Structure 1
Amino acid sequence: MNWYVLYTKPKWEKKVAEKLTQMGIECYCPLITQIKEWSDRKKKVEMPLFNSYVFVQLENSDRNSVFQIAGVVRYLFWLGKPAIVRDEEISNIKSSLNASNIVDVSVTKIQVGDRIKLETGAFSNQNAIVQEVSKTHYILVLESLGCVLKIKYK
């Protein structure tokens, strides 16, 4: 069975993943814990790693069954076909998010257009193209996942 990428309504990722699980469909919504700060308090909140994306593993013939769930918009397509994510990429995301140690990543002399391989963090072993370099962040294109990654630093 293949892993496909579902595109959801904004902020519906966790709800869609819960409903998919209730339907018996194998799904994965990678979550990260962030500290959100309001004027009167701070709180740890679980946020989706990929905004509006949920990964589902099912047979090609069963792909339409997910549209019964409120919040599902469409499948993500790549080159005119539904995007398929390899099992090893899902495993890499899971293992990276379950890692107990936090690693600071530093990059030097990176220029726009460079092709790099991420060595640590949630996207370890992913190839990326540097799209933008500024004083506060990098923007990387992860072609294999069909997404853009913004890395902020101090």
Structure 2
Amino acid sequence: MVERVKVRFPTDDGQQDEVMYAIPSRDNCYILDNSPFYVFGVSYCDEFKVKETDGELVYDFVIARAGHSTYRIRIPAGKEHQYFLEHWDPLAELGCSYEGSSANKKRLYAIDMPPNVDVSKAYNIMEDNEHQGIWEFEEGHYCRADEISIC
């Protein structure tokens, strides 16, 4: 079994940092094993460098992109996970996956788009649903084809 470690990722807004799992790859380098809920600029399977601060691993910068993109969806306050699932199929059919959180009044979903997903189609689906008031979405990281550098 692969050893997973926790790495702290500072957020851009200076609010509470996000802690995610990663897999060691080489000296001071790790591969992200989660989809970010709050952090921008990094996606599932990206390889990154860390620094150690007070005995804790802290994200420093990306060294290799695996080709995944990250988007986030928030559903309206009071809506349950089933509501999300009622609108999820079109994204699942494109090859997207998600991690969910109910830590806030509006449930939040981190959407992973592997390299084989047509991001423009997925974006259009998310945008259409936002215009219909089904959910809100934001881009956490879009991986352009010229950024991919799988190790």
TM-score (norm 1): 0.31
Mark the structure with the bigger radius of gyration: 1
